[in-house]
Amino acid sequence: MNARLTLFGNRTANKVINSLASTGGVVSATGLPVATQELVKIRASQINGCGFCLDMHSKEAAAAGEDTTRLHLVAAWREATVFTDAERAALELTEQGTRIADASGGVTDEAWADAAKHYDEEQLIGLVSLIATINAFNRLNVMTQQPAGSYRVGQFS
């Protein structure tokens, strides 16, 4: 597959990408666990069909020590026994926040309350911001058909 646009190396695209990427530092400062952050990025990317982001975040998670069984089961998190209650709440919020157009009313009160049981206000802001940001990255990559498979860990550090 060939990309429709070259995002990497284009001055305007770099400005947009750097602006979105700066959210990562803010999210990390909230104390939201790194493992949860990667699981959220992977799940949203699965839903959105973003191969580029799946390639990146699954490799980054593995390099950070994430268990391969958990990585393989993200798409089936409801049936898997390897996720904590807090991670399940984050994954549910991710799904509902990513599929917001599919559900009248967006995120349910139940999903929000479950997440709020596990995360403080700062972490919730981080989680919501992370979900919004990965969805933006997914859309950029899917619309421009960025190819997947060649990402190297730390490539954009």
Q: Which residue has the higher pLDDT, 5 or 48?
A: 48
DSSP labels, 111-135: HHHHHHHHS-HHHHHHHHHHHHHHH
Percent residues over pLDDT 70 in the chain: 100
DSSP 138: H
pTM of the model: 0.95
Nearest to 120 by CA among 31, 16, 48: 31
Q: 97 is written with which tokens?
A: 């926040």
Q: List the Cα angle 99/91/50 in 5-degree steps.
A: 55
AA letter at 104: S
Would you kindly state where each structural domain of the chain is located, as residue ranges? 33-143
CATH classification of 33-143, choosing from 2.60.40.1240, 3.40.630.30, 1.20.140.10, 1.20.1290.10? 1.20.1290.10
Is 24 exposed, middle or buried, given 0-12, 13-18 or 19+ CB atoms closer than 10 A? middle
pLDDT at 6: 84
Residues 118-132, mean pLDDT to the nearest whole number: 98
- Please name the residues in contact with 16: beta carbons below 8 A apart, sequence gap of 6 or more: 140
Averaged pLDDT of the chain: 95
Least confident range of 5-19, 36-50, 61-75, 120-134: 5-19
Q: Find the length of the chain.
A: 157
- Tens of pLDDT, residue by residue over 73-109, are 999 999 999 999 999 999 999 999 999 988 777 899 9
CB 122 within 8 A of CB 30: yes
